[in-house]
Structure 1
Amino acid sequence: MNAKDEILIVKPAYKDHWSIAGGVVEENESPKTACLREVKEEIGIDLKNVKFLCVDYTANKGEKGESLQFIFFGGKLSESEIIKIRLDKKEIAEFRFIKIRDSLPLLSERLKMRLPKCLDALTNNIAIYLEGGG
């Protein structure tokens, strides 16, 4: 998030829709550690701390299987941090800061449902549990 309360979204090079920085947890890695690693790999920002906002359970859907999606808040980035963003072009084609309402048409269906609830959790200083994005 920036000083204008716009969220940072990324356009993965291998997907048709926009997303948020993140990825898969590796063996013997915590979700928080995975978040910090993925943000560093994808956009070059070395976050020191993140705040847990949400866990979203998705039931087995054939090929994808069941999953748990963890969402963390990386804080508000300063201008000096924003200018240090460096994309891993193999993974991320571009990034932008955008108002949440303007981001929704660009996101996957599940993230489109999940993200506003995560921002409500941030505003209310709580963590939430979801199933299937809702």
Structure 2
Amino acid sequence: MEIVDTIARTAAAAAVLFLDADGQVLIVEPTYKPRWEIPGGDVEKGETPRDACVRLLHEELRLDLLPGRLLVVDWAPLVREERVRFVFDGGTLTEAQLDRIELAPDVLTSWAFLSPDELFVMMEPRLVRRVSAAIDARRAGVPTYLEHGLPAG
């Protein structure tokens, strides 16, 4: 008798929502895809999503920051695999922190701040929904759960 493995082995990704003093969102331009995103990336084996954010912020932006509380969990299926995406609160970046940003040239081309209403110009729709939900969760002080970038339930 063959036993079928039905346990999910879902990949994870984690990102950080940073705002500036005017409430605009920090976005980055990856070298390996056409659309912009918020800082973050894949969680490695044995790494927590929050630890992945610490590593990625250092590797990609040369920022040594500890993300704050969880804002969003989004179950996001892809063509090849399912992925659970976490978004943490990075707070408001100071001018001194912004001056320390050094992009990893093999990963990121540039960075910018956009108002939440302008994100759709640079980012894919599902990510805009996720970031908008993270902004709302930050404001409300309560994390939110999404599926496909949309509120579940």
Q: Which amino acid aligns with 1:9?
A: I
Structure 1 distance, partners of 2:55, 2:115, is: 25
Write out aligned runs for 1:44-55 (5 A). 44-55=62-73
Aligned to 1:113: 129
2:60 counterpart SS class = helix
TM-score (norm 1): 0.94
Unaligned runs of 5+ residues in structure 2 are 1-18
Structure 1 distance, partners of 2:66, 2:128, is: 27
Unaligned runs of 5+ residues in structure 1 are none
Q: Match for 1:127 among 128, 132, 143?
A: 143
Structure with greater proportional strand content: 2
Aligned to 2:38: 20
Structure 2 distance, partners of 1:6, 1:36, is: 21
- Determine which structure has greater relative contact order: mean sequence separation of CA pairs < 8 Å that are 6+ residues apart, divided by chain length: 1
Q: Residue 33 of structure 1: CA displacement?
A: 0.4
Q: Residue 58 of structure 1: CA displacement?
A: 2.0
Q: Which has the larger radius of gyration?
A: 2
Structure 2 distance, partners of 1:122, 1:62, is: 30
Q: Match for 1:62 among 79, 100, 108?
A: 79
Query: Percent identical across equivalent pairs?
Result: 33
Aligned to 2:93: 77
Structure 2 distance, partners of 1:120, 1:42, is: 26
Q: Residue 49 of structure 1: CA displacement?
A: 3.6
Q: Following superposition, which runs of at least 4 residues in structure 1 exceed 2 angstroms of deviation?
A: none
Question: In 1, are the aligned partners of 2:67 and 2:88 still within 8 Å (CA)?
Answer: no
Structure 2 distance, partners of 1:131, 1:114, is: 10
Of 40-49 and 5-14, deviating more is: 40-49
TM-score (norm 2): 0.82
Of 47-56 and 122-131, deviating more is: 47-56
